[in-house]
Structure 1
């Protein structure tokens, strides 16, 4: 069934022949061709297809780490060996933790849902909703049988309602942001720039910190179940490999700076932020490009306010300096710690704005265990989980 098929020839989304399944390589490429028109941004069609193929080969995606899905009509006659693609998405398998109500912490798997798409000609017929219904049913059945996934996350760009109907509820969606100053003299001497060779050690340390946090009960309600996706090296590198491909295609070079780190001269404790460049406009439209912090870590909670302020200013300056070098007009950090937010707001040079996201990038969670998703405490809900 081609994109030009008449509406009368399309099956109902309630038809028993509508199934969720895995695409063939040809069908998968066709889904990429469909969504390239909306998500290609600064990439050519050829570059976009190459990027999608490349992302299947990086560590997070290997060995079943990524699964492609299509909604199709099992009763339709394949054309040139391909079935109709009524809707499509993909799931990414990520290491995660769950703290149960009895206080025990378990290593689990979580599935990130990404690239949910329906071709324009097929919209308005309930296909995407049917796909999400079947996908949730598949995950819930898998969880009952094998314990995997314990939960699922996705990031909605179409508001709060659609995915919530299928169990993915938006939980905590705030950010601080600031515009990049074209005339700022940026002194970054207080921080060390983070390069590729630093990532493994920082990710390992961060995982220990997350596990330490997960061992604690929720500060307000000790009975809450707590969940966290682990910010391990594979999860971080998924962003950096993707970023490198896009930057190389658009600018002919790859980033080498992945963040900035402050080390206390008095205690040796560290504060660091990891960030990526998101080029939605390419070199020609810098107003659409931004630097997004993937993760912001305060290693020692007892750090003084003065030192934390010094750390935040230095790290933000490093991000702004990279933003200027890579034609980005804005810097953002999702769901910042309260102390980090206060330090950022006190640093008046940045003129930060606090935003509650209502429509875009809504971090949403679907919990498959006992209890309601609304009652789950999502720990370290930050940009590194986006997919």
Structure 2
């Protein structure tokens, strides 16, 4: 479609719909320079196809969307429609504790890969697509109760998505640079976590979150509480994606997904799960980051000395993995107050505390009564990113 023939974003012929496989592949090809990072176009296409086969994607777990003009002529050679903008939604298990104090199992929809072809930008198409998607979710919620809320992570600041209802909430992180020779962790105290550990830990984590959700907000008891669950399918989406990129770039896959500490006095555990994000790959390692997906303190009453030993040991293990996988930085989003304090006191990490205001802004659209600002977003951590 020539730019001179482009319809207005307010045209009644503009619709939100699902792409055909050729339309989806064309969209992925156009978006590869934006999100392909170290992957070539064929590698990026293979990764996106692969991610549609993993457990989180099954039974409608991942849905691709395009904005198109229903009145435009279809390409006679490819039978493809013009794609003005595109995105995808990921359905995730979640919890809501209402004002009645009852915790309910719900679905939340994550929005990802919002993209407009460069020649079509500045015409309001992305805004139209997001508005149509919001209307679709709102109607679906009113009909069936699904989704209860939606999340996304903005890389274009706060204003664009906020005007459509996705409000940026807590967005902080601790980060530290990976040293040339990281301090070794004590392997007699810290256990590295592999595939075989994930199922039991995620089940235990869900128990802890349900227990936390059953309680009112400590400062404002009237707040509605919401949480996306870090279940095995949600975490595996990150690990499968990571494995594909690492195997393509380095010819091997990570086997360590985190680290765990067990209290010698009570047997309670502290663990952190992390992923490697190779934004620069082997050629630009300064762009690679190891990110904690989830950090769990099983017993909130763990004594300071043991929690310090746990946090320092787990962060050392993370730094070692970061070094082994050519990551220049380690980060953890919205850390617990006690965890933050310990990391900042530990001089070896030389950590800094950052309030994000431009990229990876965790934002939430609430479809129930009230607004997103009135919610208590429990466990707002990296595992929810999509």
Query: Deviations for 1:131-169, whole angstroms, at most 9, x for unmatched residues?
Result: 000000000000000000000000000000000010000
TM-superposed deviation, 1:348: 1.0
SS at match of 1:182: coil
For 2:35 and 2:86, the matched residues in 1 are separated by 14
Aligned to 2:23: 27
Aligned to 1:184: 182
Asked whether the 8 Å contact 2:149–2:365 carries over to 1, the reply is: yes
Pairing 1:67–2:63 present: yes
Pairing 1:58–2:54 present: yes
TM-superposed deviation, 1:14: 0.3
SS at match of 2:22: helix
Asked whether the 8 Å contact 2:182–2:316 carries over to 1, the reply is: no
For 2:21 and 2:138, the matched residues in 1 are separated by 27
Asked whether the 8 Å contact 2:292–2:382 carries over to 1, the reply is: yes
TM alignment of 1:15-164, pairs within 5 A? 15-79=11-75, 80-164=78-162
For 2:205 and 2:183, the matched residues in 1 are separated by 31
SS at match of 1:343: helix
For 2:385 and 2:371, the matched residues in 1 are separated by 23
Q: Which runs of 5+ in 2 are unaligned?
A: none
Which has the higher mean CA deviation after the structures are superposed, 178-187 or 371-380?
A: 178-187
Query: Deviations for 1:362-381, whole angstroms, at most 9, x for unmatched residues?
Result: 00000000111110110000
Query: Deviations for 1:78-110, whole angstroms, at most 9, x for unmatched residues?
Result: 102000000000000000000001101000000
TM-score normalised according to structure 1 size: 0.98
Aligned to 1:267: 266
For 1:76 and 1:213, the matched residues in 2 are separated by 52
For 1:126 and 1:16, the matched residues in 2 are separated by 14
Q: Which runs of 5+ in 1 are unaligned?
A: none
SS at match of 1:29: helix
TM-superposed deviation, 1:37: 1.3
Aligned to 1:329: 328
TM-score normalised according to structure 2 size: 0.99
Pairing 1:293–2:292 present: yes
Aligned to 1:339: 338
For 2:246 and 2:141, the matched residues in 1 are separated by 38
Asked whether the 8 Å contact 2:183–2:316 carries over to 1, the reply is: no
Aligned to 2:283: 284
Asked whether the 8 Å contact 2:68–2:83 carries over to 1, the reply is: yes
TM-superposed deviation, 1:179: 0.3
Query: Deviations for 1:229-262, whole angstroms, at most 9, x for unmatched residues?
Result: 0010000000000000000000000000000000
